[in-house]
């Protein structure tokens, strides 16, 4: 139990991940699904950033000519977060474009429900 | 050489998109794939003669490593040769499924997809692998949606959201792996060096098992392992036929090879056998067995020819994961050989299904009686593919089933032989009726009246015929490939020493 409190960043990240996952899988509204996807991505970034931070150290930019690596935090997780954010933005853009296309064609954002079944039936 | 292949495919993709005329786009695509075949073969010969090639570029945390060993060459050859045949076959088929003005864009997506798949396999740095995985899922969803009908947009959305869920899980796993091992660089060989150092697994076993579990579940979504396969029948069943062939034969395999590299390259056979990873692999094995049976049972219930073949892919993925789950060198070899076997056979089957649908405008299996008399060559090709899937000797499917059986006996888990043979019988239950109905069944009215005598010209069928020749060829002489793969596995296991 104390471990849970000590690592509250990681616990929060896991909770956010599960929330995002459930929204992605259970919601029928496309926009909500995309929001769920974003929450899931954000939780991974939180996890990464929390893991990369080392208490008492500086951000990895050389200051006052100090090149001793033990003064600075590890830049790699931060770099991964940046890459991940870029990927997440492009994913969201792609998914939103698809959602827009869906809405223009069928005037609904519902992807699993009754409306869709009617649409598919109407096409056949 | 590895970079040259990726750059060639990506530049070719942009070039195909750039040209206005759809005929030019097709020619560019075939030309690029032809060059890709040559480059892959040259790369393979240079790796065989000169040992593995390691290329490093970039600096700081963006430093990337590309490592080309035997397995990467094997996959590059599969991607290029089968990709070439699929693109060749798509020349005459694609206008049936995709609007004329979208054809250059289609080839942009297809070539871009093949380029990113090569990148997934070649990159050793996990950052590069992650970015390539994301890019390939966009392109893969793209070649499903490009057909522009309701089912396609629906299937594409499902595919996109589940495959992004998969890559997010993989990213989370990679992060935990990185944090637990804190390697020198973020690549598989540095992680392997840490994990294989003595006493590490005893100390950090639970972290590593967690990381690998997350990666496994992510790959299960990407590669359609049974409970996570729900996107596959929709995506592969509704996509244009050349896309279905690519998705089934090549796209699923890239993620599996990445998984093999990170599990068996990162941890190695000895450590897996003596740690919590063994339990994880047991789970993978059992789920693989369930997938073998369930995929085939679901395939029997289908009436749509492409959905049936798509469910058959679910079953075949089960075989591959079962081979991985054995956790022995021979199990891994059987899984790798099955990648080749499935790629050759399934791409042929999807292209045959596409030809049938194109010529008869009928996707319903029950209405395919007498088709063998109308389209004898096409149905003969389907028969070769179907028999190979069942595992008839002299065809490649028999060799991979034989390898699985040998691997099972070698690892001492004899009970697996029962599901293996049951699943072979189930394969026969859905491929044979189609063949029998086509050649010996009564001619259905729908066939004869509006679409009588509809064989496609032999020059359009040639790539599919070549795939069928490949099925027979690898069935008769699998020896050289087997030796090559055994060397590749030895090379993979020695990573990080």
- Residue B148, classed as helix, strand or coil, is coil
According to DSSP, the residues that pair with B65 across neighbouring strands are B56
**Bridge pairing between strands B53-57 and B64-68:** antiparallel
Is the CATH number 1.10.287.3510 carried by domain A2-123?
yes
Q: What pLDDT is recorded for position B447? A: 54
The whole-angstrom separation of Cα B428 and Cα B389 is: 8
The whole-angstrom separation of Cα B5 and Cα B36 is: 6
Which of A56-70, B81-95, B382-396, B410-424 is the least confident region? Answer: A56-70
Nearest-10 crossing angle of helices B329-360, B376-390 = 160
According to DSSP, the residues that pair with B66 across neighbouring strands are B55, B123
Q: Please report which confidence band the pLDDT of residue B40 belongs to, taking 50, 70 and 90 as the band edges.
A: very high
Do A75 and B60 count as a contact with CB atoms less than 8 A apart? yes
Q: What pLDDT is recorded for position B132? A: 92
Report, as an integer, the average pLDDT of B116-130: 90
Q: What pLDDT is recorded for position A64? A: 76
Do B151 and A76 count as a contact with CB atoms less than 8 A apart? no
Tokens 């693989």 -> residue: B288
CB-nearest to B175 from A51, A98, A101 is: A51
B160 touches chain A (CB under 8 A): yes
Question: Could you tell me which of B398, B388, B310 has the C-alpha nearest to residue B344?
Answer: B388
Q: Please report which confidence band the pLDDT of residue B41 belongs to, taking 50, 70 and 90 as the band edges.
A: very high
The residues spanned by each domain of chain B are 2-493
Q: Which of the two residues, A68 and B469, has the higher pLDDT score?
A: B469
Q: Which residues contact B496 (CB under 8 A, 6 or more apart)?
A: B188, B189, B190, B191, B192, B193, B194, B195, B196, B265, B266, B268
For residue B353, CA distances in Å to B166, B198, B305, B317, B423 come to 29, 53, 7, 20, 22
What distance, in Å, lies between the first and last C-alpha atoms of chain A? Answer: 57
Report, as an integer, the average pLDDT of B85-95: 88
Q: What pLDDT is recorded for position A19? A: 93
Q: What pLDDT is recorded for position B311? A: 92
A63 to chain B nearest CA, in Å? 18
CA atoms within 13 A on the CB side of B459: 2
What is the per-residue pLDDT across B291-319, written as a single tens digit (0 to 9) for each? 999 999 999 988 888 899 999 999 999 99
Tokens 């070539």 -> residue: B111
Q: Which of the two residues, B20 and B243, has the higher pLDDT score?
A: B243
What's the burial of B270, exposed, middle or buried (CB within 10 Å: 0-12/13-18/19+)? Answer: exposed
CB-nearest to A21 from B141, B151, B165 is: B165
CA atoms within 13 A on the CB side of B410: 16
Do A120 and B151 count as a contact with CB atoms less than 8 A apart? yes
Segment holding B68, helix H or strand E: strand B64-68
What is the per-residue pLDDT across B76-85, written as a single tens digit (0 to 9) for each? 999 999 999 9
Q: Looking at beta carbons, which residues of chain A come within 8 Å of B153?
A: 98, 101-102, 105
Q: Is the ipTM of this complex over 0.90?
A: no
Which of B153-167, B234-248, B357-371, B401-415 is the least confident region? Answer: B357-371
């Amino acid at each position: 139990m104390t471990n849970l409190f000590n690592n509250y960043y990681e616990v929060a990240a896991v909770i956010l991940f599960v929330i995002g996952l459930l929204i992605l899988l259970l919601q029928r509204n496309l926009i909500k699904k995309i929001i769920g996807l974003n929450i899931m991505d954000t939780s991974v970034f939180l996890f990464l950033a929390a893991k990369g931070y080392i208490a008492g150290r500086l951000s990895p930019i050389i200051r006052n000519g100090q090149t001793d690596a033990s003064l600075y935090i590890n830049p790699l997780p931060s770099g991964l977060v940046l890459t991940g954010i870029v990927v997440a933005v492009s994913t969201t853009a792609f998914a939103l474009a698809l959602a827009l296309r869906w809405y223009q064609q069928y005037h609904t954002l519902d992807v699993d429900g009754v409306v869709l079944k009617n649409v598919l039936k109407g096409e056949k | 050489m590895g970079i040259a292949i990726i750059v060639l495919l990506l530049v070719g993709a942009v070039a195909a998109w750039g040209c206005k005329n759809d005929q030019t786009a097709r020619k560019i695509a075939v030309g690029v794939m032809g060059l890709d075949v040559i480059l892959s073969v040259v790369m393979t010969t240079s790796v065989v003669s000169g040992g593995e090639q390691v290329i490093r570029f970039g600096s700081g945390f963006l430093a990337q490593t590309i490592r080309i060993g035997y397995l990467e060459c094997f996959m590059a050859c599969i991607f290029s040769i089968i990709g070439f045949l699929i693109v060749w076959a798509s020349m005459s088929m694609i206008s049936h499924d995709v609007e004329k003005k979208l054809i250059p864009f289609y080839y942009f997506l297809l070539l871009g997809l093949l380029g990113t798949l090569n990148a997934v396999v070649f990159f050793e740095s996990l950052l590069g692998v992650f970015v390539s995985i994301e890019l390939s899922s966009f392109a893969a969803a793209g070649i499903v949606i490009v057909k522009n009908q309701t089912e396609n947009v629906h299937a594409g959305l499902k595919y996109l959201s589940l495959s992004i869920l998969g890559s997010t899980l993989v990213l989370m796993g990679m992060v935990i792996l990185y944090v637990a091992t804190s390697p020198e660089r973020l690549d598989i060989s540095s992680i392997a060096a840490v994990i294989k150092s003595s006493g590490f697994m005893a100390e950090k076993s639970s972290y590593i098992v967690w990381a690998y579990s997350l990666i496994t579940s992510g790959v299960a979504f990407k590669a359609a392992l049974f409970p996570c396969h729900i996107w596959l029948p929709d995506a592969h069943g509704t996509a244009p036929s050349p896309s279905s062939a690519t998705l089934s034969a090549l796209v699923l395999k890239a993620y599996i090879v990445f998984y093999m590299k990170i599990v068996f390259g990162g941890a190695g056979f000895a450590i897996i056998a003596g740690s919590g990873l063994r339990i994880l692999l047991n789970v993978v094995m059992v789920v693989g067995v369930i997938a073998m049976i369930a995929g085939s049972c679901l395939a029997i219930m289908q009436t749509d020819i492409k959905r049936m073949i798509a469910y058959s892919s679910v079953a075949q993925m089960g075989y591959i994961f079962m081979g991985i789950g054995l956790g022995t060198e021979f199990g891994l070899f059987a899984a790798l050989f099955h990648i080749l076997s499935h790629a050759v056979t399934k791409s042929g089957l999807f292209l045959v299904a596409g030809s049938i649908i194109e010529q008869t405008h009928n996707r319903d299996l029950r209405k395919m009686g007498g088709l063998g008399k109308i389209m004898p060559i096409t149905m003969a090709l389907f028969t070769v593919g179907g028999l190979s899937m069942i595992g008839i000797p002299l065809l490649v499917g028999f060799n991979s089933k034989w390898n699985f059986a040998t691997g099972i006996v070698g690892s001492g888990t004899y009970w697996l032989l029962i599901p293996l043979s049951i699943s072979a019988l189930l394969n026969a239950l859905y491929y044979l009726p189609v063949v029998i109905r086509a050649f010996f069944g009564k001619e259905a009215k729908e066939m004869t009246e509006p679409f009588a005598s509809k064989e496609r010209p032999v020059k359009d069928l040639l790539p599919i015929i070549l795939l069928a020749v490949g099925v027979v060829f690898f069935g008769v002489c699998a020896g050289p490939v087997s030796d090559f793969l055994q060397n590749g596995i030895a090379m993979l296991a020695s990573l990080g020493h």
